[in-house]
Structure 1
């Protein structure tokens, strides 16, 4: 083929064929035969062929190189795109989300960048403004910088009742309270496993969402529904309690159902005036219900207030409660009833859950706040409790 291109090599090296071609060329001399054009064309064709071979070799090299070098963009990228990092997302999940949005060139690039940065474990769930076609390292940096986080969050404080939580959520999302109430009627549909509603104290079970709406700061997705928001809170509760090994430890150490311990955590959350006392208040609840307390009842006014709120009445300070309210026989949360109430009375935080799971040892049956920081003094006997109440009065607490 190269012979046919007449590339201008020394034809004396070609033998008879070369001599024949030279004589043919001499016979054509003097005629406008376009021989110079043919030579140029031949050169161009050769360059094209050689270029094709070189291009193919380069393409092949690039393909082979991609097997050993992780595909990644250079630089800080361009434009803007919002990427959602979901609650509980693993690094691989984040990498997939970024790749799908066109932020990184490959999931592997982001995974490798995260593996090389110990701070990657601090990436928070939520929505982030990032750029397209960024290097994985730059993308990681943007997820670690909270300035890039789209703030559409709401904080649910510890100890809020479900009714209070619905109100807070409605104010933030403009979703009607009645939608949250409707969604909450079926806790299992929101993700609460059926076994959570088992009890060992032979009391009837009332399936309620109360206690499972974990207090935390939540990023609300743009098109969220009442069901999706409550489900997100339930999922968070299940994640936190799983990490704590709450269920296993309560069953092994407390010898009661996890639901009963959840009720105690809610009581401690409502009664303790200071986080330092959450475990001790939980111990008091256990001692009263399961120990040597005359009625084996709680005698905690917070259960009365819960019933007042549940039935649409105004909650009150203990000193303002009437005898009829304190000992209403129709109230299933009556403080004089034996054992624990039907459900939790609020949504406790992690410290309260820890206190109910592993309370400190003590024979305490009574407690009273003694300072303005809410710290309580605990007593084994009523005589000791009376002395503590006198201290509280002197301090102007009660």
Structure 2
């Protein structure tokens, strides 16, 4: 091979070399572009997934955020008037929020906020008064608010008048509360629970003070009777019963027993001090006179009336003051403050007898003469016969 041929050969190789490098360069660029496209696709997919995730997070957060805001702005509430019956007690000094808590706990309203909003909308926040109210379960808050009007309170005002026996008071309390009389009879035997004075000798008669009381279906017999005893103790303290009893020479129980007879026998408040004086005069005689009070005889027989019969006067009861000297064993009524005051400060006078000659008009006549007393009795009989 000559030099020319060799050069041609080498030149051919030199010419081929660049062409090969050119094809290799194009392949590299193609691969690079493919990698870039793949990377762009991956980037787009990642971006898309990120967007989906972000949207999802925002969507879930927005849902719960909406519900949270809605729960604050539009609190959970029932609809309609509810059903059944619930007795709700509002205690003295409770705020609207505390009342709302009670209503939620008892299933009346769905949420505290719903009730508070309803109270505010009705302008009733200042009119929520302590007491017991009848509502229903599952009520719309706006329907519950009107049922808490003080005029709808279940408490009833019960006035126990002076001179009633315990058996009569039990009947009144039973009617007011719907509880049976036997529950009050049972409660009356628990002197410790009622906090009776020691001188009461564990008997409630005479210590159930006549006054006006708030009574509701939820009031227990024990609570009601204890309230009456507490009211008695306050009245006894006000009039100075214990010290006053010492001044008139009797025990507190004896004074209350005399006051109960004064209450039963008097036709009017003005006669009470005179009737008390008659009782003291009879007890202070030497020897003491029998009291001879029809009211005590009737009490011992569990009868009612203003005049005992001859058969009644033969009673063996310890309350028969026609047969037994001195005072009966305890009070025969529950006297009021006027009768207690009259017993502690009796009128001055020599009277040994009194007769209510006209029961309709409450006219009572007093005397220290047996003869005049008998005339008064005849007058009483004529008035009774005339009706």
Given the alignment of the two structures, is residue 169 of structure 1 paired with residue 173 of structure 2, yes or no?
yes
Given the alignment of the two structures, is residue 307 of structure 1 paired with residue 311 of structure 2, yes or no?
no
Contact 2:178 2:217 in 1 (8 A): no
| TM-superposition CA deviations, 1:205-245 (whole Å, max 9, x none) | x5310000011111014521110010011111111111122
Instruction: Name the SS of the counterpart of 1:178 in structure 2.
Output: helix
Instruction: Name the SS of the counterpart of 2:161 in structure 1.
Output: coil
CA distance in 1, matches of 2:170, 2:297: 21
Q: 2:156 aligns with which of 152, 160, 169?
A: 152
Instruction: Name the SS of the counterpart of 1:318 in structure 2.
Output: coil
CA distance in 2, matches of 1:397, 1:291: 34
Change (3 A) 1:183 1:147: closer
Contact 2:154 2:217 in 1 (8 A): no
TM-score under structure 1 length normalisation: 0.57
CA distance in 1, matches of 2:210, 2:305: 23
Task: Please say which structure displays the higher CA radius of gyration.
Answer: 2
Q: Name the residue aligned to 1:326.
A: 313
Instruction: Name the SS of the counterpart of 2:301 in structure 1.
Output: helix
Shift, 1:334, TM fit = 1.4
Instruction: Name the SS of the counterpart of 2:256 in structure 1.
Output: helix
Instruction: Name the SS of the counterpart of 1:363 in structure 2.
Output: coil
- The list of structure 1 runs, each at least 4 consecutive aligned residues, that deviate by more than 4 angstroms after superposition, is 81-84, 146-151, 390-398
CA distance in 2, matches of 1:150, 1:280: 43
Contact 1:166 1:177 in 2 (8 A): yes
CA distance in 2, matches of 1:148, 1:361: 51
Q: Name the residue aligned to 1:385.
A: 373
Change (3 A) 1:133 1:250: same
Given the alignment of the two structures, is residue 296 of structure 1 paired with residue 289 of structure 2, yes or no?
yes
Given the alignment of the two structures, is residue 210 of structure 1 paired with residue 197 of structure 2, yes or no?
no
Q: Name the residue aligned to 2:110.
A: none
CA distance in 2, matches of 1:187, 1:317: 31
Q: 1:250 aligns with which of 242, 245, 256?
A: 245
Q: Name the residue aligned to 1:373.
A: 361
CA distance in 2, matches of 1:190, 1:390: 45
Contact 1:264 1:356 in 2 (8 A): yes
CA distance in 1, matches of 2:318, 2:357: 31
Contact 1:369 1:397 in 2 (8 A): no
Contact 1:370 1:397 in 2 (8 A): no
| TM-superposition CA deviations, 1:169-190 (whole Å, max 9, x none) | 1111011111111111122320
CA distance in 1, matches of 2:294, 2:126: 60
CA distance in 1, matches of 2:220, 2:151: 27
Contact 1:274 1:373 in 2 (8 A): no
CA distance in 2, matches of 1:397, 1:368: 16
Contact 2:155 2:217 in 1 (8 A): no
| TM-superposition CA deviations, 1:143-176 (whole Å, max 9, x none) | xxx9798751111121111111111111110111
Shift, 1:279, TM fit = 1.5
Change (3 A) 1:148 1:396: same
Q: Name the residue aligned to 1:226.
A: 221
Change (3 A) 1:250 1:83: farther
Q: 2:258 aligns with which of 255, 260, 264?
A: 264
Change (3 A) 1:215 1:133: closer
**More helix as a share of residues:** 2
CA distance in 2, matches of 1:397, 1:369: 14
CA distance in 2, matches of 1:102, 1:153: 25
Q: 2:333 aligns with which of 346, 370, 386?
A: 346
How many residues are aligned here?
252
Shift, 1:332, TM fit = 1.0
Q: 1:363 aligns with which of 350, 363, 377?
A: 350
| TM-superposition CA deviations, 1:267-304 (whole Å, max 9, x none) | 01111122211121111111112334x55321111111
CA distance in 1, matches of 2:271, 2:237: 24
Q: Name the residue aligned to 1:69.
A: none
CA distance in 2, matches of 1:225, 1:236: 17
CA distance in 1, matches of 2:310, 2:357: 24
CA distance in 2, matches of 1:131, 1:246: 46
Alignment of 1:60-99 (within 5 A): 97-98=92-93
TM-score under structure 2 length normalisation: 0.59
Change (3 A) 1:147 1:278: farther
